[in-house]
Amino acid sequence: MSYTKEEIHQIVLNQKEYFLKGETLPIRFRKQQLKRLKEAILKNEEKICDALYQDLGRCEVEAYFCDVGDVVMEINEYIHGLSRWAKPERHYSGLASFPSFTTKVYKMPYGVSLIISPFNFPILLSLGVLAASIAGGNTAIIKASSKSAACTQAMKEIIAETFPPEYAIVIDGGHDVADFCLEEPVDKIFYTGSPNVGKHVMEIASKNLVPVTLELGGENGNWCIIRKDANLKDAARKIAFFKICNSGQICININQVAVEKSVAKEFIEELKKAIIKQIGEHAHTNEEYPKLITRRAYDKIVEEAEHYKERIVFGGEGDPEKWKYDPTIIYPVDINEPIVNHEIFGPLLPIVEYEDSEIDKLLDTISRREHGLALYLFTKNMKWAKKVMQTQQYGGGCINEVCLHLMVKGVPFNGTGHSGMGAYHGVWGFREFTHPSTVLFGKTHMNLPLREHPYNQKKKKLLSSFLK
């Protein structure tokens, strides 16, 4: 179905009217809707997994691990924490507000939320964000990706069966429909995708002064640094898993690896062995290996690999009919080459050498580029690793691990600069979909006229002592 501008406008109007009735405000109502969403996902697990296979070639286990199970965990966290998070905060107003000593901060929903989700994790990054919106007390319009058509259709059916459209709805369509949505005066926008489109989202949102959350992949991609003291076999095993997962189409995936020169070749051999052990020497022939989202995405990877074909030390083959391209190691690559200066979003993995004596120079080069969504370090030197994690600019990351920071409950998932703004998951998602409203409870007796005209030296002195 293709939506017109008028149809989108009516959907927004209907949701605004529904929100104004106040039905989404009670915490009990929100929990009920979260439970309904969870039940709908579990009931349609097979349908969702089938759609993920159609769109991305995901096997059942990977589909559940990366999308279905993750959403269920997210919903559970909202259900269990919502009452505590939504409770108004009580604050002491201070002597300057005498005799009105009580102030409360209410966590208020924005209203109509617009969620624009990507193709790579079409369920998690749609319904997981929907859960945050529901927890915040909002209504929601999900503009799902046209690239992951099977998942979008499945979500349309599931949400339509679960909620009335004035409360939550999934719509499909291309960039024109997305722009129709963005041009509407919604109350909150949550976008996941590329930095370039993120700029477009902010530009249109600014016309209506709509608050925006952006989760972006990062302009220069995410770095992984391997020191010479690292456990190379362990690092290779984890990095291999990550590049195989979703065929590398992950916003927090490793874009390039910087390896200390003296262990670079040893690491590459371990990485080859790890890839072969997990998915086979020719991954594109393995039924469990996911595919790239479109033929265009496949051709883009092939074109970039062709440019570096003389330095491909593993992989470099694919199936243009199935849109599958092997995990491909490219070595050696200079830190200033094009492939390490943009987000690859696929199974190519350039390897950059550095000398241990120049680790600070490496970090300085990384810090001068656009901030990544993730940073990964492999080393036994925890003192150094902690220092790096506390001084670099990035969204989140791991030491001696990959991607699992995304799975930790109660902590924010976020980006900074070209990798995004805002944060969500758990309480952070609740905060992202609510705005704090401060309310002072005034007293009608014992009000001192200090703040009122006429002013004199005595009032000035008393006010000064109160405020200081």
How do the pLDDT tens digits run along the chain, 468 residues long? Answer: 679 999 999 999 999 999 999 999 999 999 999 999 999 999 999 999 999 999 999 999 999 988 999 999 999 999 999 999 999 999 999 877 888 899 999 999 999 999 999 999 999 999 999 999 999 999 999 999 999 999 999 999 999 999 999 999 999 999 999 999 999 999 999 999 999 999 999 999 999 999 999 999 888 999 999 999 999 999 999 999 999 999 999 999 999 999 999 999 999 999 999 999 999 999 999 999 999 999 999 999 999 999 999 999 999 999 999 999 999 999 999 999 999 999 999 999 999 999 999 999 999 999 999 999 999 999 999 999 999 999 999 999 999 999 999 989 899 999 999 999 999 999 999 999 999 999 999 999 888 777 788 888 887 887 777 777
Q: What is the DSSP string of 188-207?
A: EEEEEE-HHHHHHHHHHHHH
334, 240 Cβ separation under 8 angstroms: no
Q: Which residue has the tokens 């097979």?
A: 46
304 is catalytic: no
Q: Where are the alpha helices (DSSP H) in 256-309?
A: 264-279, 295-307
Q: Is 348 exposed, middle or buried (0-12, 13-18, 19+ CB in 10 A)?
A: buried
66 is catalytic: no
Q: Give the CA angle between residues 66, 67, 68 to the nearest 5°.
A: 120
Largest separation between any pair of C-alpha atoms in the chain = 87
**Interstrand relation of 222-226 and 372-378 (parallel, antiparallel or unpaired):** parallel
Residues in CB range of 311: below 8 A, 6 or more apart = 330, 331, 332, 333
Does the pTM surpass 0.75? The reply is yes
- In the 8-state DSSP scheme, what is residue 455? P
Sign (positive or negative) of CA dihedral 279, 280, 281, 283 = negative
**Active-site residue identified among 184, 215, 260, 432:** 215
**Active-site residue identified among 49, 66, 251, 403:** 251
Residues in the chain: 468
Residues in CB range of 157: below 8 A, 6 or more apart = 47
- The CA–CA distances, whole Å, from 178 to 112, 155, 157, 429, 461 equal 15, 17, 19, 22, 58
